[in-house]
Amino acid sequence: MDLTYTPQQQAFRAEVRAWLAANVPAAPLEHFDATREGFEAHRQWEKTLKSGDWGMVTWPTEYGGRGLDLIQWLIFEEEYYRAGAPGRVNQNGIFLLGPTLIEFGTHEQKQRFLPKMASGEEIWAQAWSEPQAGSDLAGVRATCVQDGDDYVLNGHKIWSSRAVFADWAFGLFRTPGTERHKGLSLIFFPLDAPGVTVNAIKKINGHIGFAEIFLEDVRVPAFNRLGDEGQGWHICMATAGFERGLMLRSPARYQVAAAKLADLWTAHGNSADPALEADVVRAHMNADAYALNIYQTASRLIAGAKIGPEASTNKIFWSEMDIHLTQTALAILGPLAELTHDAPDAAPVDWIDDYIFALAGPIYAGSNEIQRNIIAERMLGLPR
């Protein structure tokens, strides 16, 4: 065990830091779920990132990446959050679909989709959930019927993040007559294809980050199917493991938040309940523990291990950590807690918005109840 960075890793950190210092926009961008302008400003940032070859550092170079390992990815993410760089508007593509495409896609599919994903030229939405199928994804009802070289898609998707402004979506579709997890296929469709209707759904913070999607006889080439017909469940489970286990939430995000919370305590602690210091310390401990866990996982994966059901513990940990951290900030702020960022007396960090966002954590990417079932059944071996 060696918990020090190699000279190469230190040099890489310096390179990332220097590039970000020269390129990160001075003023924060409007949120990509708030308005079309905010979304397009983020697309422009993705293009800038790509110009420095930082679009997706772990991907193979032939598909628009740098071919770096997971420790280097962690260093990149640490510097990215440290620099206060904009949120990744293409996160559904690069963190969710991208790794799945790399594992299950054909060379032609990778060539067609990955470089444009890494550059932000095509921004992806996920279209998994349906009105009757949330955490129980095997209950998906939307259908795909092969017709010559095409698929014809029909159905109703919901809670699709980014779909209002995005260019493409990936969803699960059922071959008619099949049941549960059998007969599902993972298929990509352009959100401006004939027969696609996207209706915005406002989130509790007022952003239009969700959408419902209606598909009526939408025709896409069979080329857009990832893996074999009927293999969609297997592929989605692999994706979900990655989502819960590693890439969805960088440790750096929470380490920045814990440092800001410590600053908030230093600035406002004398007017707050002294008992809150224990929560400020706890927030740092949680963020540090999460970082150590991810570093350990990255080391294991580099040494040849595979992500297993323990990935479900990550999702529980970061989602609960985020709520605790942001709630602690609100408690320190006291009566300032409810002010929105445009209020004259608002604190420099918009903690109320972070808190409201954190509340979604235990729900998306498979609810925490489902994660606990997975841990109990697949890690501990309890009966179904």
Distance CA 163, CA 140 (A): 18
The only residue of 193, 238, 298, 336 in contact with another protein, by rule CB under 8 A: 298
Residue 295 is a binding residue for another protein (CB under 8 A)? yes
> Would you state the structure tokens that stand for residue 7, as one six-digit string?
């000279």
Classify burial at 234, counting beta carbons within 10 Å of its beta carbon; exposed 0-12, middle 13-18, buried 19 or more. Answer: middle
Residue 363 is a binding residue for another protein (CB under 8 A)? no
Catalytic-role residue among 30, 216, 243, 338? 243
Name the residue with tokens 């509340």.
Answer: 359
Q: Which stretch binds another protein (CB under 8 A): 26-34, 104-112, 190-198, 365-373?
A: 365-373
**Cβ–Cβ < 8 Å for 28, 86:** yes
**Cβ–Cβ < 8 Å for 225, 105:** no
> Would you state the structure tokens that stand for residue 91, as one six-digit string?
């996160």
Site string for another protein, 47-76 (x = CB under 8 A): ------------------------x-----
The only residue of 11, 18, 21, 278 in contact with another protein, by rule CB under 8 A: 278
Residue 284 is a binding residue for another protein (CB under 8 A)? yes
Residue 290 is a binding residue for another protein (CB under 8 A)? yes
Identify which of residues 224 and 371 has a Cβ nearer to another protein in the complex.
371
The only residue of 142, 186, 291, 347 in contact with another protein, by rule CB under 8 A: 291
Identify which of residues 226 and 375 has a Cβ nearer to another protein in the complex.
375
DSSP designation for 169: E
Identify which of residues 169 and 257 has a Cβ nearer to another protein in the complex.
257
Task: Report the 10 Å Cβ neighbour count for 236.
Answer: 25
Number of residues located near another protein, criterion CB under 8 A: 57
The only residue of 3, 26, 27, 275 in contact with another protein, by rule CB under 8 A: 3
Identify which of residues 73 and 124 has a Cβ nearer to another protein in the complex.
73
> Would you state the structure tokens that stand for residue 145, as one six-digit string?
């019927």
Pairing relation of β-strands 150-157 and 143-147?
A: antiparallel
Q: Which stretch binds another protein (CB under 8 A): 104-112, 163-171, 198-206, 247-255?
A: 247-255
Look at the alpha carbons of 262, 263, 269, 271 in this order and tell me if their dihedral is positive or negative: negative
Distance CA 53, CA 138 (A): 38
Distance of CA 1 to the CA centre of its chain: 30
Is 310 among the residues known to form the active site?
no
> Would you state the structure tokens that stand for residue 175, as one six-digit string?
């071959």
**Cβ–Cβ < 8 Å for 58, 70:** yes
Residue 154 is a binding residue for another protein (CB under 8 A)? no
Residue 375 is a binding residue for another protein (CB under 8 A)? yes
Site string for another protein, 314-353 (x = CB under 8 A): --xx------------------------------------
Please enumerate in sequence order all residues whose Cβ is within 8 A of that of 213, keeping only pairs 6 or more positions apart, or say none. Answer: 127, 156, 157, 158, 160, 163, 169, 171, 191, 196, 197, 198, 199
Distance CA 166, CA 186 (A): 18
**Cβ–Cβ < 8 Å for 307, 298:** no
**Cβ–Cβ < 8 Å for 185, 230:** yes
The only residue of 114, 208, 246, 258 in contact with another protein, by rule CB under 8 A: 258
Q: Which stretch binds another protein (CB under 8 A): 117-125, 332-340, 345-353, 368-376?
A: 368-376
Residue 199 is a binding residue for another protein (CB under 8 A)? no
Q: Which stretch binds another protein (CB under 8 A): 119-127, 155-163, 170-178, 297-305?
A: 297-305
Please enumerate in sequence order all residues whose Cβ is within 8 A of that of 184, keeping only pairs 6 or more positions apart, or say none. Answer: 138, 140, 172, 173, 174, 175, 178, 230, 232, 233, 236
- The Cα-based distances of 227 to 16, 62, 148, 177, 354 in angstroms read 35, 21, 18, 20, 37
Residue 273 is a binding residue for another protein (CB under 8 A)? no
Residue 243 is a binding residue for another protein (CB under 8 A)? no
Q: What's the min distance (Å) between Cβ of 36 and another protein? A: 31
Q: What's the min distance (Å) between Cβ of 19 and another protein? A: 15
Q: Could you list the residues that contact another protein (CB under 8 A)?
A: 1-6, 9, 13, 71, 77-79, 81-82, 251-252, 255-256, 258-259, 262, 266, 277-278, 280-281, 284-285, 288-293, 295-296, 298-300, 303, 310, 313, 316-317, 369, 371-373, 375-377, 379-384
Residues belonging to the active site = 243
